[in-house]
Structure 1
């Protein structure tokens, strides 16, 4: 198949694709040496048409493609959509809508946690994808027929997968479950992260407010540097260095030179000046302005054994409903339910997740539900004395 390389060709292809109520979409990109992904190829397919676009073609205007992504009448179907949406948002300043992510839908339909596209193709379509072109340098031209075939397979099989999953969701009454997930996936704040929030991407190994203040300030500085220079975050400074800086809190170049994670001589560079400014800015904050660890990443006291029981319950209900555990509740959410109970900001206690798991989870920690091992199987059963136990507990508390 010939790649689209001109604006006229792209406009004609989009005109044909818009005759359908859905379009499958995939992108090929390179980002190993840059902060922003470099879009190389766009693949599109409807039931009757396919197109493969050379996004690097000189003079090519992608306006028609972005218009298609914004067309509310056409569902844009992706598999594992986040990185594709990130590229579209960066280049076109828009979030595709409406969107259907087959990886999310597959989890809701019981295909396991984050199933890979080639596995989904095999299980639903019964086809095998040749993955030998998976690590192609998509910037090189010309692309071979084998590479083009590999790229197109990412959207042609996706048509059948979409129709299959859509039908399954409708039959099971779970369409709204996926639509709820798509609202999160297509929220602008998911992709338009402020540099001051970059620290929330890091694993929270630290607890003290002063350490978190330095962590936040240095992570924000690194985010701005990486974006401005268009280099990966790790090329500016590694995560391990950020943690050490947050703990050691160097105020000058001499103190920085003693850090294990800082390369020798780096403390005299121009970037080091900006980094030290970020550290001192954080250290000079009033204590009341220093951050506290977000609830979602704290290790709540009292979680312990209750959390372990909740994990067993999660496995039971997800097996019963034929849905992946990962899409119902995370480990952090389970820990918080165990420690805090019915908190408003825990996703597992909202919407369809509450119906499937959340209500039973609250019953379990409140003593209204128990896990029973019988005939070599574990079952969740209502505790017959739950009401009496609750009343007695209230009386004891009052006394």
Structure 2
């Protein structure tokens, strides 16, 4: 039974025809903001299979059946591109990736309540249910989180669950914005997910994530070639890259340089069927092409990954990590949003190199202090059980 204090949300409505979709979304185009979520399946495919789109307005909650026969999602694409309507997501990355894949453009403008929650002091990557509880005092049902959204018909319980992902989000958004405006932090919630390249895997760069432990540029060239081929092949047949061929197999191919089908079958994880088929022949051709590359076209390990690359002082890194935690405690913001480990390493090695922590609000709450610490102008101290910043008694010049 609902409590008298429970908010009253609009009754969700399932949309499964193009005309209904166009009419329903037309009514929402006047809204100041809409809350949006998606349900999809991806366990067995490379590309996400969109099953349901939830949209919450002030008076409407639409559940769009993306798998309905004959449904044309063009009206949804037009809404996603409408600059006059703010689209509010929680943990938007996967949702944005889906819309980019479907419509070849990212929704705009976008507000991510997970990023906003990190700015507002709710910790790193706070979950939606936790955030709803913190901001509204209510708990929400997450029992259908791992349900099969591709099965039809959808049950009433599934539809109720799906609606809750956008109805409560309206309250979360409004209360987060109010808090951030009071604290003058709304500008901190920047559009960090606005670059389509963030969501599109570049086949030619996939080798970098495999963490090869070698400086042998020929081997790296082969690894780059076979990793790029696997990425394109996984996209073509629409299967997850690791299901097509595991990373370990690619590393072994780069190390052993197979030239024949028989050679390829000796690689762990490569079956005779795969080696003799289109995928295997493509891998062998990629190896052959990489073998023929001139030395000048071979890759090097990314900067910082080479055994010969300069390493920051472990002691300086430790100090910067403590400083980051201290500054973020003082400002009640999640450290992960302020600086990554790569940012800290770059700052430790060379503070003159462009760095996200040395611009905008990050510079104000951490970057300036980090430079001062590095220059010996401030020191870390402990007062009443907390780490604090204190002027250095003997400032030194930057080393």
CA-to-partner distance for each residue in 1:90-131, whole Å, 9 max, x for gaps? 111121000000011111111100011111111112221212
Match of 2:131 in 1: 120
Instruction: Specify the alignment match of 2:8 in structure 1.
Output: none
Take 1:251 and 1:340, find their aligned partners in 2: how far apart are those partners? 44
Match of 2:149 in 1: 138
Q: What residue number does 2:5 align with?
A: none
Partner of 1:37: 48
Moved more, 207-216 or 71-80: 207-216
Alignment gaps of 5+ in structure 2: 1-11
SS of the residue aligned with 1:23?
A: strand
- Measured after TM superposition, the shift of residue 300 of structure 1 is 4.3
In the alignment, structure 1 segments of 5+ residues that lack a partner are 394-399
Q: 1:377 aligns with which of 382, 386, 393?
A: 386
Structure 2 distance, partners of 1:141, 1:249, is 48
Supply the distance in 2 between the matched residues of 1:208 and 1:373 (Cα, whole angstroms): 47
Cα offset for 1:166? 1.2
Residues 166-209 of structure 1 deviation map (CA, whole Å, 9 limit, x = unaligned): 11222222222112xx1x30212222343222334444554443
Question: 1:289-325 CA deviation, whole Å, 9 max, x = no partner?
Answer: 2222223656741331110111000000000011001
Alignment of 1:237-316 (within 5 A): 237-263=245-271, 266-295=274-303, 300-316=310-326
CA distance in 2, matches of 1:297, 1:25: 39
> How has the CA–CA distance of structure 1 residues 62 and 268 changed in structure 2, closer, same or farther, with 3 Å as cutoff?
closer
The aligned counterpart of 1:397 is none
* TM-fit CA distance, 1:329: 0.8
Deviation at 1:29, TM superposition (A): 0.6
Cα 1:204/1:172, change in 2 over 3 Å: farther
Q: In structure 2, the residue corresponding to 1:132 is in which secondary structure?
A: coil
Alignment of 1:329 with 2:339, yes or no, is: yes
- Mean Cα displacement is larger for which, 314-323 or 267-276? 267-276
Match of 2:33 in 1: 22
3-state SS of 1:88 partner: helix
Aligned partners of 1:141, 1:255: CA distance in 2, in Å? 46
Q: 1:67 to 1:270 in 2, by over 3 A?
A: closer
Mapped partners of 2:391, 2:212: distance in 1: 37
Out of 149, 153, 175, the residue aligned to residue 160 of structure 2 is 149
Instruction: Give the number of the structure whose residues are more often helix, by fraction.
Output: 1
Pairing of 1:82-97 with structure 2 (within 5 A): 82-97=93-108
Distance change in 2, residues 1:261/1:339 (3 Å): farther
Q: Kindly state the Cα deviation for residue 47 of structure 1 after the two structures are TM-superposed.
A: 1.9
Measure how far apart 1:390 and its partner are. 2.1
Aligned mates of 1:296, 1:71 — CA distance in 2? 41
Cα deviations by residue, 1:16-53 (Å, 9 ceiling, x for unpaired): 22221100000111111111111111100112221111
Secondary structure of the 1:40 match is: strand
Q: What does the per-residue CA deviation read over 1:321-360, in whole Å, with 9 as the maximum and x for residues that have no partner?
A: 110011111122212222223311x322332212221221
Aligned residues: 386
Using the TM superposition, name which of 82-91 and 274-283 deviates more: 274-283
Aligned to 2:361: 352
What is the Cα deviation at residue 375 of structure 1? 3.8
Alignment partner for residue 366 of structure 1, among 350, 372, 375? 375
Specify the SS of the correspondent of 1:371. Answer: strand
Q: What secondary structure does 1:141 align onto?
A: coil
Partners of 1:115 and 1:257 lie apart in 2 by: 45
- Going from structure 1 to structure 2, the CA distance change for 1:265 and 1:45 (only over 3 Å counts) comes to closer
RMSD over equivalenced CA pairs, Å: 2.0
CA contact (8 A) 1:204 1:297 kept: no
